[in-house]
Amino acid sequence: MGLALEKRRPVSVNGFEMSDFGVTGRTYVIVGGTTGLGLSAARALIHHGARVGIGSRSEESVAAALATLGEHAVGKSLNAAEPGSVEELIDLTCEHFGDLHGLYHVAGGSGRARGDGPLHELSDDGWDYTIRQNLTSVMLSNRAALMRFRKQQSGGAILNMGSVLAFSPSPQHFASHAYAAAKAGIEGFSKSLAGYYAKEGVRVNVIAPGLVETPMSQRAREDEKIMGFVRGKQPLDGGRIGIPGDLDSAVLCLLGEGGRFATGQVLQVDGGWSVTER
């Protein structure tokens, strides 16, 4: 006679069942939450019972994302690199859903079209634009979230978007030196915040993906030489480019109760990029 397997109940921590990552009933803001990684995270949060506020530059992109996310999401167009923009999104989100529990900063992007590249080709405008879009915007959004947490007299979670290019360069295919500097700056900035605000119950972490299928990666996806490189550099799951959903579980953990004892960390979700010799 075989033994019947006992059905295990989800582990409960501080009132949250860990099967839902501890995000159920909580409110989050995603800066850059209308496409790619941000939209995928918004869907995952809502699926697990959270409510979200999303923002990006394009009004059309915000409207399209809200149409797919439904009643548990609000949003507005914004420029994350402009002071005050993220505060407005946080205010809107909290008006609808109550206190803020976490911020996920995804917004940023390539500065190639503005002059980012190898140092000997890097223009002043390329540097200024890329740093502002990818690093200054993080400072502004993180400050806005922190001020809201303090107003609420609560802790909270901040998760910032890094990149493997901050610590594992690809000189042949991804020589964007201002972008790499900005992403490395996000790591230092986040760890500094994590150390200073831990006593207030504020956790600050970074997620660092490899190459993922997003609008920003279109150039690479259309170049077969780059894609051949990526298949070897990211060897997990047969060797492939990432998809936004590959990051969702890590995002849910670090934003929710599942990551309650983690701060100042850089989690590499990169298909093996950072540990593969190529």
- As given in the structure block, the two tokens for residue 198 are 């831990």
pLDDT in tens, 107-121: 999 999 999 999 999
The rounded percent of the chain whose pLDDT value lies above 70 is 93
The single-letter DSSP state of residue 213 is: S
Average pLDDT value for residue range 127-136? 98
On whether the CB atoms of residues 194 and 263 are closer than 8 A, the answer is yes
For residue 15, the model assigns a pLDDT of 52
Q: What are phi and psi of 88, to 5 degrees?
A: -65, -40
Which domains are seen in the chain, by residue range? 17-270 (3.40.50.720)
The single-letter DSSP state of residue 7 is: P
> How far apart are the C-alpha atoms of 19 and 100, rounded to whole Å?
22
> How far apart are the C-alpha atoms of 186 and 136, rounded to whole Å?
9
> How far apart are the C-alpha atoms of 129 and 232, rounded to whole Å?
32
12 pLDDT more than 90: no
pLDDT in tens, 170-194: 999 989 999 999 999 999 999 999 9
84 pLDDT more than 60: yes
> How far apart are the C-alpha atoms of 235 and 271, rounded to whole Å?
6
> How far apart are the C-alpha atoms of 9 and 28, rounded to whole Å?
27
For residue 223, the model assigns a pLDDT of 75
Q: What is the pTM of this model?
A: 0.91
- As given in the structure block, the two tokens for residue 271 are 């298909």
**Identity of residue 23:** V
226 pLDDT more than 90: no
pLDDT in tens, 136-160: 999 999 999 999 999 999 999 999 9
For β-strands 73-77 and 51-56, DSSP reports them as: parallel
48 pLDDT more than 60: yes
The band of 2, judged by pLDDT with boundaries at 50, 70 and 90, is very low
